Amino acid sequence: MKENYLAKWLNNELSEAELEAFKKTAEYADYQRIVATTDTLEAPDFDMDAALQEFKNKQFQKQPKVIAMKPRRKWLQIAAAIAVLMVVSLFYVNSLDTSISTEFAERREVTLPDASEVVLNADSRLSFSEKAWDKERNVTLKGEAFFKVAKGKRFTVATEAGTVSVLGTEFNVENRNDFFEVTCYEGLVSVNFNGKEIQLPAGSSFQVIQGTIQPITDPKTASPSWINHESSFNSIPLAYVLDEFQRQYNVRMEIQNVNTQQLFTGSFSNTNMDLALQSISIPSQIAYKLEGDKVLFYAKETP
Amino acid sequence: MDNVCEEEVFSSIFTNTSKTVYNSIYYKYGNAEKAYDAVQEAFLKLWENCSKVSPEKAKSYVYTVANNLYLNVLKAEKVRLKYADRQQDTSHESPEFLMEEAQYREKYEKALAALPENQRTTFLLNRIDGKKYAEIAEMEGVSVKAIEKRMHLALKSLREKIAGI
């Protein structure tokens, strides 16, 4: 017999010969009776019109709602995506360091999260992590700043030249180009320079110019002079003095035939440019010309 | 027209398929009320997803959804089918014949209830609803050959059960 011949038989697909052979089998009568009995069965009652009406009553009135949901869902997805992005970026921004910087001829006072005070001199940049502040008081400095550190855990100032750490004190850090200077005004400061640790008691200074440690010159003031709008120098090459002048007054500077390696001791005002120019040029025996925001320093003709 | 979101299209699909789906679910699980609810639910799902279903697939979709809904919640019950009124055939029936007939029907019902759900549904859809093998195959999402197999096995095991083999 063919595969699934009963199915073929029910579907009238058997050939005449096959049908004859099937009719001769003993089961044929049984199958016939089963099919006959089955064919007297009725499908269950199903009132399609009532069902459709019920469905319509339930669903079609909700149609506008269904359609309205779709664009809103899309809109919600976008809104959700934006919200997630904002939250993520907020976390990201929060985890970034806070940084404060000053331009030429600008000075700023900053209060750190623990009420420590920092005064940033011109053209400087201070950054710190507000989030990690409770764990470690770390700041990164480029330029010059005067610190009044509140008592507490170790306070560390990282610069390219070296790190300065203290527990609570007043000190000034300057790091520009190859000039690095730390002056302690109160308490005790520890300076890490090239792997060496130097303890700096109150009233002492540590200075590195072009990689070499300079003999320590003790400051005579309670705070760096620039806090009082005066820049002071003690045996500092003229080049650094002129750089500082440029920073304090935001002028363009040109130097002609001047030996900038000569040492300068003295100070200049950060508020009166004419006075400052004289303070620098007279002791250094150089001349200057001021044109708008441009200053030319040149060698004085020998009389 | 690639979906069934038009109310008219949807209504015609409802008219053309709801009875077959309802019967199938009933043949399978034997509870008319729950089969009815499952069909209503399934059409609701079709309506919600109308944009994703093409008219050709709608029947199979509704059947599958109704089937899954039923499977998820309910257990199959015994299928009870009424016999069509055949008054006109009774003229020659003797009491013995009637008793034999009643006994036979009892055995038949037991055998039918004992069939695997798939076989019973396929068999009854074909015999009662007059659905073609191809149509059942499409709705169930299987091949025509598989439907033939079910038909064959359904008839074969009905005979074996009734004959007490």
Percent share of chain A, pLDDT over 70: 92
For A39-70, the pLDDT digits (tens) are 888 888 888 888 888 888 876 555 554 455 55
The residues, ordered by sequence, that sit 6+ positions from B2 with a Cβ below 8 Å of its Cβ are B54
* Confidence (pLDDT) at A116: 84
* Confidence (pLDDT) at A83: 92
**Distances in whole angstroms, Cα of residue A292 to Cα of each of A249, A252, A253, A296, B147:** 12, 9, 11, 11, 99
Touching check for B83 and chain A: CB below 8 Å? Answer: yes
User: Side-chain half-sphere of B69: how many Cα atoms within 13 Å?
Assistant: 22
Touching check for A10 and chain B: CB below 8 Å? Answer: yes
Touching check for B64 and chain A: CB below 8 Å? Answer: no
**Strand A137-148 to strand A155-158: parallel, antiparallel, or no bridges (unpaired)?**
parallel
The whole-number average pLDDT for the span A75-85 is 88
Local structure of residue B30 (DSSP, 8 states): -
For A132-180, the pLDDT digits (tens) are 788 888 889 998 999 888 887 888 888 888 888 887 778 888 888 888 8
pLDDT at B152 over 90: yes
Touching check for B86 and chain A: CB below 8 Å? Answer: yes
Interface probe with B: pick from A34, A42, A47, most Cβ of B within 10 Å:
A34
The residues, ordered by sequence, that sit 6+ positions from A211 with a Cβ below 8 Å of its Cβ are A178
Percent share of chain A, pLDDT over 90: 2
Structure tokens at A69: 């949901």
The whole-number average pLDDT for the span B103-120 is 89
Q: Where are the domains of chain B?
A: 7-73, 87-163
* Confidence (pLDDT) at B123: 92
Instruction: Write down the mean pLDDT value for chain B.
Output: 83
Shortest distance between the Cα of A9 and any Cα of chain B, in A, equals 9
For B47-97, the pLDDT digits (tens) are 888 888 888 888 888 888 888 887 766 555 656 666 665 544 555 667 777
Size of interface A-B (CB pairs under 8 A): 112
Touching check for A38 and chain B: CB below 8 Å? Answer: yes
* Confidence (pLDDT) at A57: 80
* ipTM score: 0.77
- Could you tell me which CATH class the domain A229-299 is placed in? alpha beta
Q: In chain A, what residues touch B36 (CB-CB under 8 Å)?
A: 46, 51
* Confidence (pLDDT) at A70: 56
For A272-297, the pLDDT digits (tens) are 888 888 888 888 888 888 888 888 88
* Nearest residue on chain B to A49, alpha-carbon basis: B15
Do A55 and B163 count as a contact with CB atoms less than 8 A apart? no
Touching check for A12 and chain B: CB below 8 Å? Answer: no
Do A46 and B40 count as a contact with CB atoms less than 8 A apart? no
Structure tokens at A93: 């921004």
* Confidence (pLDDT) at A213: 80
Touching check for A218 and chain B: CB below 8 Å? Answer: no
Shortest distance between the Cα of B149 and any Cα of chain A, in A, equals 6
Touching check for B125 and chain A: CB below 8 Å? Answer: no
* Confidence (pLDDT) at B54: 86
A200-214, A237-251, B54-68, B82-96: lowest mean pLDDT where? Answer: B82-96
The residues, ordered by sequence, that sit 6+ positions from A198 with a Cβ below 8 Å of its Cβ are A190, A191, A192, A206
Measured between its terminal Cα atoms, the distance across chain A in Å is 134
pLDDT: which is higher, B2 or B17: B17
- Could you tell me which CATH class the domain B87-163 is placed in? mainly alpha
Q: Which CATH number fits domain A98-214: 3.40.50.2300, 1.20.120.420, 2.60.120.1440, 1.10.3720.10?
A: 2.60.120.1440
User: Rounded distance, CA B87 to CA B106, Å?
Assistant: 19
For CA atoms A207, A233, A265, A297, the dihedral sign is: positive
Amino acid at A195: G
